[in-house]
Amino acid sequence: MYSIVGRNVSEAFYIGLQALDAGGRVVQTRGGNVAEFETPVCTTYKVPTERVLFYPERDANPYFHLLESLWMLAGRNDVEWISQFNGRINTYSDDGVVFHGAYGYRWREWFGKDQLNQAVTRLTTYANDRRTVVTMWDANTDLVEGNDGKDYPCNTQIYFQARDDILDMTVCNRSNDMIWGAYGANAVHMSVLLEYMAARCGMKVGTYYQFSNNLHAYVDVLEKMSGILGTPDYDPYACINEDGSHYIPPPIVTDPKSFDEELEQWFESPDTKFTNTWLNDVASPMLRSWQHHKSQERIEAVLEAASIKDEAWSQACVEWLGRRYDK
């Protein structure tokens, strides 16, 4: 097994690109030629809360990545709300209404139980528990004949382990696009889940391990990332603070008891004042910035992005808008 160890997603992304560029094998798939690692890969994020990917060559959409994470935590599977941030995502829905493999819905609804609540109960009841498993793969509906479905879970299981009031998480993935999935959306989605679960359990955020059975990148996309290989010392979380210390983002959950209810309310009324102030300080201005952007109100979009009270997400949104407005 190949191992990639990074402080944060930006470092892991750089190391992964370097390794795949140097030693990946090229195979033909139904989606095109891909470069893939010859063995499964384990990526270790030492500081998973440093989840924002800044490389301009990658052009990661910060709005989509973070707001989709909230959509997941809320247990949703509807196409309508999330498709406003990604115009192509609806093509992965079989009926244009819901997603078959939506992670959040599988966490909280699919199996007739809220797996996250049950996981919190186990982690806070049984010391050093090794049975806290959250699953997204359903063999009854996913392991089927034919290959017609558009949306089957790529991330299949999640293991949580608590030791000394520190919560670690391992995510298992059957097929992982390194650029769009692993070091793009997945690094945000799953690190947000880990932070949420740690807060619910009254623990600290530990290490996030991502096991990818097949880690790959499409060759044409990989070639566009070649400029990143010339910037090995780039660490955005160290660059934000003038003294060179790593920027520490504000916590997402400050009142675990009310967060689920407030998150549900946020989707209906995002300008409400919440006990979990991150919703007001980060999520709401990000949503307003996006709405201004879609309405072609460029100044308002940038001002709202600049007002986000998490400097990493604020910077990412301003830079993402700038790359479009500069054109």
- pLDDT tens-place string over residues 237-260: 877 677 777 889 999 999 999 999
The band of 232, judged by pLDDT with boundaries at 50, 70 and 90, is: very low
Residue 90 clears pLDDT 60, i.e. is over it: yes
Residue with tokens 């819901």: 98
Residue 126 clears pLDDT 50, i.e. is over it: yes
- pLDDT tens-place string over residues 37-61: 999 999 999 999 999 998 888 999 9
Residue 326 clears pLDDT 90, i.e. is over it: no
**Residue of 54, 85, 18 lying closest to 286 (CA atoms):** 85
CATH number of 2-63+100-237: 3.30.572.10
Average pLDDT across the chain, whole number: 94
Residue 105 clears pLDDT 70, i.e. is over it: yes
Would you say 51 and 235 are in contact if contact means Cβ atoms under 8 Å apart? no
Q: Comparing 8-17, 59-68, 71-80, which segment has the lowest mean pLDDT?
A: 8-17
- pLDDT tens-place string over residues 24-37: 999 998 889 999 99
Q: For the CA atoms of 313, 315, 320, 326, what is the dihedral angle to 10 degrees?
A: 160
Structure-block tokens of residue 83 = 């498709």
- pLDDT tens-place string over residues 299-314: 999 999 999 999 999 9
Q: What is the 3-state secondary structure (H, E, C) of the chain?
A: CEEEEECCHHHHHHHHHHHHHHHCEEEEECCEEEEECCCCEEEEECCCCCCCCCCCCCCCCHHHHHHHHHHHHCCCCEHHHHCCCCCCHHHHCCCCCECCCCHHHHHHCCCCCCHHHHHHHHHHHCCCCCCCEEECCCHHHHCCCCCCCCCCCCEEEEEEEEECCEEEEEEEECCEEHHHHHHHHHHHHHHHHHHHHHHHHCCEEEEEEEEECCEEEEHHHHHHCHHHHHCCCCCHHHHCCCCCCCCCCCCCCCCHHHHHHHHHHHHHCCCCCCCCCHHHHHHHHHHHHHHHHHCCCHHHHHHHHHCCCCHHHHHHHHHHHHHHHCC
**Residue of 220, 225, 183 lying closest to 26 (CA atoms):** 220
Instruction: Indicate the domain borders of the chain.
Output: 2-63+100-237
